[in-house]
Amino acid sequence: MGYALFTARKLALTARVNSLNAQLMQVANEQMALSDQIAAEQNANNMQSAYNTMQAASVFSQAYGGNADNFGMALTNYQTTMAQNMMSQTENNMSIAGLQSQENALDLKRETLQTQLNAATQELENVKKAEEEAIKHATVKYVG
């Protein structure tokens, strides 16, 4: 009867280890998707920033046109365009920060699952060793 208890416990622990491994895989996939999304957002932000800077330079160049009288207006237009660019970058960085906080939460969840998995694996190994010891001690020895 004792062996049946060990077997039942091993089955339960094996199921738990498998479940934790599946959860870890799911969290890893979610982290990968978030990382890809963050990278795409950052690349899009960099492209937009470069485009906006180019546009600001173009606005300045067109407004100035080599005429010293237009320099003040051209500079004002350039500064306004650059300020709008900075606002846009800040908004984009805030959305990236939100994604990064989600990624950090997933990282904490992954660490928790990893700790639970290590504990369950260790318990499974202990049950296997206890079962082996019980079988060894229960085996009839003939002295002859």
Locate the domains of the chain by residue range: 2-138
Fold of 2-138: Helix Hairpins (1.10.287)
DSSP per residue over 64-102, as a string?
A: HTT-GGGHHHHHHHHHHHHHHHHHHHHHHHHHHHHHHHH
Length of the chain: 144
Return mean pLDDT, the chain: 87
Structure-model confidence comparison of residues 38 and 80, the more confident one: 38
Contact (Cβ atoms closer than 8 angstroms) between residue 43 and residue 21: no
Is 0.75 surpassed by the pTM of this model?
Answer: no
Closest CA to 78 of 62, 52, 56, 98: 56
What pLDDT, on the 0 to 100 scale, is given for residue 134? 82
Whether the predicted pLDDT of 2 surpasses 50? yes
Sequence-ordered list of residues with C-beta below 8 angstroms from that of 120, at least 6 positions apart, any chain:
13, 16, 17, 20
